[in-house]
Amino acid sequence: MIKSDRTWDWVLAISVVLVFLVAVLLRVSNGVVTAGGIELPGVCWFQGLWGIGCPTCGLTRSFVSLAHGDVVEAFGWHPMGPVLALWLMAVLVLVIGGRVRGKSPMSGRAWFNRTFIAVTAICLVAGLIRGFVAPI
């Protein structure tokens, strides 16, 4: 189990780094995510089906705005975007720090798993509330 958890730690760390690298490479222009000036297509099937943004709608734009230093805009796209980004950065530091110090894997710890579930649930609830109160 420990070896599997260590693998998951590295998968998590690499995924977090990739998310932030992609966010730096993208831009938000008039509410549309662009890459090199080319508009990227919207991919939210939830909005197409129900007519409101899904609970995660706006997280990409929030992360991209945050990566370019616009914290206010990041909160505007999704109220939990900057909070989630901060949590992911903390996870990255804990995973790498733990590996360097030879500590047990993060992903196998009960508190880490509970925190992950809580942060995910809060993001989804905040997104649902935002979707009904102030849709994007």
pLDDT tens column, 57-106: 888 999 999 999 999 999 999 889 999 999 999 888 888 888 778 777 77
The pair of structure tokens assigned to 74 is: 């990041």
pLDDT band at 48 (very low <50, low <70, confident <90, very high): confident
pLDDT tens column, 10-26: 888 899 999 999 999 99
d(CA 91, CA 104): 14
pLDDT above 70: residue 135: no
C-alpha distances (whole Å) from 126 to each of 75, 77, 83, 96 are 11, 12, 11, 29
Could you tell me if residue 14 is left (phi over 0), alpha (psi between -120 and 50 degrees) or otherwise beta? alpha
pTM score of the predicted model: 0.80
Distance in Å from the first CA to the final CA of the chain: 42
pLDDT band at 1 (very low <50, low <70, confident <90, very high): very low
Helix (H, G, I), strand (E, B) or coil at 10: helix
d(CA 1, CA 79): 36
DSSP state of 33: E
Inter-residue contact 123 to 80 (CB < 8 Å): yes
Question: What contacts 53, CB < 8 A, 6 or more positions away?
Answer: 44, 46, 47, 127, 130, 131, 135, 136
